[in-house]
Amino acid sequence: MDTIVRIDVGASKGPKVTKEGVGSYAGLGGRALTSAVVSKEVPPLCHPLGPENKLVFAPGLLSGTAAGQSGRISVGCKSPLTGGIKEANAGGQAAQVMARLGYAALILEGAPMGNPCYLVHIDKNGIKIEDDQSLKGLGNYALVEVLKKRYGDKVACISIGQAGEMRLAAASIACTDMEMHPTRHAGRGGVGAVMGAKGVKAIVLDDEGCAMRSPKDPEKFKAANKVWVEGLRKHPVTGGGLPNFGTNVLTNIINEAGGFLTRNFRTGQFEGASKISGETCAALETNRGGLATHGCHRGCIIQCSGIYNDEHGNFLTKQPEYETVWAHGANCGIDDMDVIARLDRLDDDIGLDTIEMGATVAIAMDAGYIPFGDTAGAIRLIEEVGKGTPLGRIIGSGAVATAKAFGIERAPVVKGQAMPAYDPRAIQGMGVTYATSTMGADHTAGYAVTANILKVGGFVDPLKPDGQIELSRNLQIATAAIDSTGMCLFIAFAVLDQPETFQALIDLINAFHGLSLTADDVTALGKSVLVNERNFNKAAGFTKEDDRLPTYFTREAIAPHNVTFKVKDADLDKVFEW
């Protein structure tokens, strides 16, 4: 994994491929690498859909190895949604395959002439690019069927649906899972729109004939991996809650805690929560011949994913994630699991961020365009995005655009990106992360639910401002480091609670790369990623005033706790002071 491949889609004679060593990016992977490339090579003031922006794909430091849980791919660029730096990562097979092909990163550069529909094919023999107009307008599912017929079902596909082709700001990038369903998405920030702007519809990765990456010290690596896997299996969250019920195990927990936002962030509890909970969903999946426990890529130990069949027992979508269940469910007043699964399928097919779409449909409901709980109306709105109708294009442009179009204040966003499934008043640590993350409102950037609600890694009272700054800071640093390893973020539960599991992660990196990193080095890596990202955003025009929640969160108390967001602006400004 010592090669960076660049594809200049704007070269005068058609896309030009160049390969180079990792150079000054040596030792970086995943988010550390994508954010470093964007920080160094993308002018912060450029238009996100213009030729100066770059779209960077990078597997993590441990991707493509035998290390359990190491298959996340990082996607970086300047975001069309936030106007700042963006790192969105996804599971699925892409990272493992790209790493085994020997690539530390794939970078799409320039802007194409005309309106091409490029298909990039990468295998051990090299890289081929063709302009295949027959793929134009296909949803991700139909597209992957075509690619499967051409290349077989052992490849990994990275692709965009119609939303990416239309360059809409909520467009995602799909990665295929082990069954070659396009269900794992780099969802946030409009990364799919940037891929569309490069004229690239799909990237097919084929690692046939490529060996698994081998460690510098195989014995130490094997021993560390054993402790690592045992640690993940023994923790109650990574070895119990997540595999049994998926991320949707959180619905009952967060609803109970009063942070399960309902009807465009009006209240913190949903009367229909039990009908859409992880427990209900897992039982439904099992009864219909689907799977309640499933890994999204080779080597996943936790297996929080699942397979959701329709009422006839036919595959419909993957197990909808907690954030999707909340966004299209409680936040829209919908308590029908089949409707939520249908919306999840539509989002994946058209290539849309489910969080942004749930928030956006709820805004249209709040504005009175359709009523809360209107299942047919919600489906119709998402279908309109796929068809590219004028209303669909507004919806597909996200929460801010839709709130403006409908003339309402209540857009729950930070830096232009919709908030996920945790109320920042009932879980104040999440409010700090939403406000200050370099990514805009992003739960994964610093998941304070751990200490606020789950009592993992200590306890900080979720309803009070005390201790939230330090909690969010430490989590944001740790997350930036984890996102650089290629590890799925869900390892954090075991790593935060079990010192020997945290040490095993460091041992894995050291044994694989022949290093002697300490915990302090990992912290330093996380800090350096955040500094790169903060500097980019500053140069793009962000100020401390952008590190704030919308004012209605400090004005409107939310039931059942009747609390407002209490963390002071001056304290938010200290998150990155270390």
Chain residues that interact with ligand SF4, rule: CB under 6 A: 69, 91, 295-297, 300, 302-305, 488, 490
- Contacts (Cβ under 8 Å, ≥6 apart) of 113: 10
Q: Which is nearer to ligand SF4, 86 or 297 (CB)?
A: 297
- In terms of C-beta distances under 8 Å and separation of at least 24 residues, what long-range contacts does 216-219 make, across chains too? 216/511, 216/512, 216/513, 216/514, 217/511, 217/512, 217/514, 218/511
Taking the complex as a whole, the smallest distance from the CB of residue 379 to ligand SF4 amounts, in Å, to 26
Q: Which is nearer to ligand SF4, 104 or 175 (CB)?
A: 175
SS3 per-residue string spanning 190-203: HHHHHHHHCCEEEE
Taking the complex as a whole, the smallest distance from the CB of residue 92 to ligand SF4 amounts, in Å, to 8
CA dist 343 to 85, 353, 561, Å?
28, 11, 31
Taking the complex as a whole, the smallest distance from the CB of residue 211 to ligand SF4 amounts, in Å, to 22
3-class secondary-structure state, position 88: strand
Taking the complex as a whole, the smallest distance from the CB of residue 231 to ligand SF4 amounts, in Å, to 14
Q: Which is nearer to ligand SF4, 36 or 296 (CB)?
A: 296
Residue (of 213, 193, 22, 14) closest to 107 by Cα position? 22
- Contacts (Cβ under 8 Å, ≥6 apart) of 365: 263, 264, 332, 333, 371, 372, 374, 377, 378
Amino acid symbol at 506 = I
Q: Which is nearer to ligand SF4, 135 or 496 (CB)?
A: 496
Q: Which is nearer to ligand SF4, 232 or 394 (CB)?
A: 232
Q: Which is nearer to ligand SF4, 247 or 375 (CB)?
A: 247
Residue (of 247, 244, 212, 200) closest to 106 by Cα position? 200
Q: Which is nearer to ligand SF4, 69 or 375 (CB)?
A: 69
Residue (of 200, 201, 202, 169) closest to 187 by Cα position? 169
Q: Which is nearer to ligand SF4, 195 or 494 (CB)?
A: 494
Residue (of 8, 165, 33) closest to 529 by Cα position? 33
CA dist 547 to 57, 408, 414, 489, 531, Å?
27, 22, 8, 23, 15
Taking the complex as a whole, the smallest distance from the CB of residue 275 to ligand SF4 amounts, in Å, to 23
- Measure the CA–CA gap between 172 and 193, rounded to whole angstroms: 7
Using CA of residue 493, residue 494, residue 500, residue 502, what is the dihedral sign? negative
3-class secondary-structure state, position 267: strand
Taking the complex as a whole, the smallest distance from the CB of residue 177 to ligand SF4 amounts, in Å, to 8
Taking the complex as a whole, the smallest distance from the CB of residue 303 to ligand SF4 amounts, in Å, to 6
Residue tagged 């990039």 (tokens): 120
Taking the complex as a whole, the smallest distance from the CB of residue 488 to ligand SF4 amounts, in Å, to 3
Q: Which is nearer to ligand SF4, 502 or 536 (CB)?
A: 502
Amino acid symbol at 335 = D
3-class secondary-structure state, position 333: coil
Amino acid symbol at 344 = D
Cβ neighbours of 145 (radius 10 Å): 12
DSSP H/E element including 1: none
Q: Which is nearer to ligand SF4, 295 or 416 (CB)?
A: 295
Taking the complex as a whole, the smallest distance from the CB of residue 336 to ligand SF4 amounts, in Å, to 24
Taking the complex as a whole, the smallest distance from the CB of residue 296 to ligand SF4 amounts, in Å, to 3
User: How are beta strands 118-123 and 103-109 bridged, if at all?
Assistant: unpaired
Taking the complex as a whole, the smallest distance from the CB of residue 302 to ligand SF4 amounts, in Å, to 4
Q: Which is nearer to ligand SF4, 25 or 493 (CB)?
A: 493
